[in-house]
Structure 1
Amino acid sequence: MSRLIVFAGLPGVGKTTQARSLADALRAVYLRLDTLEAPFIRMADNNDLKDYGYQAIAHLAGDNLELGRTVIIDAVNPMHHTRAIFRDLAEKHRARLIQFECVLPDEVEHRRRVEKRGTLNWDEVLAITAYYERWDEHLDGRRNIIVTG
């Protein structure tokens, strides 16, 4: 049975580090939403890309699930409807869905990481926090929490 492993969480909490490490250990297909969207950022309003990016990464993941591969997705995955995309994808391909939400409770460390990376500023991360919907296991499915820091 193929597996769809999804890492979610705010920018700077350690999702990419966790997802890449697991992908390497499992020799799994690794798909990062930021990488997929990067070439298109200058071409459209960032908000316009969000759902298209999630749909595109789901299609790429689906192609690999059909081949029986384990797929790891690295994305903020902030809303119930984005989480549903992956839940539905796993169901469609009869893949085992494993979800992780990475959190970093130490705000000072979180901000330091964001500012060190330089891809987003702290205000942009706070803006994402404003629409990041609290995980609801009834709607979003079971998830494992990884506390980083």
Structure 2
Amino acid sequence: MTTLFLMVGLPGAGKTTRARQLAEEYRALRLTPDEWMIPLFGEAEADGKRDVLEGRMLWLALEAVKAGTNMVVDFGCWSRDERSAIRWLVEAEGACFRIVYLAVDEETQRARIAHRWATARAETLPMTEADIMYGRSHFEEPDASELGGGEAAGPPPGWADWRAWAADRWPSFA
């Protein structure tokens, strides 16, 4: 069955390294926004362009799973709502959805971020201590039900379905 693997975790957790391994192992197409943001815009956020890029990547990922191509989506997906929306969209296309969560402790995270900046500056984005702390305080760790493929949560109040929510979250998805 065609599978979409969703990489989940904080910067420095090893998501992209694991995403590359999964792409090779499952002959999957890998979409990693950081690898596009720097060449296209020279920065990570670029006035909301990351959300636009992720929306088109999500659209492409769904088109690919419809065509029978395994996908690895390396967004990080800090919020449960983002993960739930992507799961719903993938399963609506009849594909299998797998979360790949990589936890990282603060010390390891800082060391990996510093090493990446020191050794691959052209391929990475600078991160300040404030950036690290912001991520740690806003990240919603997946629970056992989410990781085990339990029943997917419904969309937040006010949304008809996850497709409508996703179109608002990622403006270019619709």
1:121 is the counterpart of 2:120:
no
> What is the alpha-carbon distance in structure 2 between the residues aligned to residue 109 and residue 94 of structure 1?
37
Q: Which residue of 2 aligns with 1:30?
A: 30
**Larger strand proportion, structure 1 or 2?**
1
- 5 Å matches for 1:101-120? 101-105=101-105, 107-118=106-117, 119-120=125-126
Q: Which residue of 2 aligns with 1:4?
A: 4
Q: Which residue of 1 aligns with 2:76?
A: 76
- Larger deviation: 64-73 or 117-126? 117-126
Q: Which residue of 1 aligns with 2:98?
A: 98
**Alignment: residue pair count:** 139
Unaligned runs of 5+ in 1: 145-149
Q: What SS class does the counterpart of residue 75 from structure 1 fall into? A: strand
Q: Deviations over 1:65-95 (max 9, x none)?
A: 1111111111210012211231122122111
TM-score for both structures, normalised by structure 1: 0.80
TM-score for both structures, normalised by structure 2: 0.70
Asked whether the equivalents of residues 33 and 50 of structure 2 are also in contact (C-alpha less than 8 Å), the reply is no
> What is the alpha-carbon distance in structure 1 between the residues aligned to residue 12 and residue 99 of structure 2?
18
Q: CA deviation at 1:126?
A: 1.7
RMSD: 2.3
Q: What SS class does the counterpart of residue 102 from structure 2 fall into? A: strand
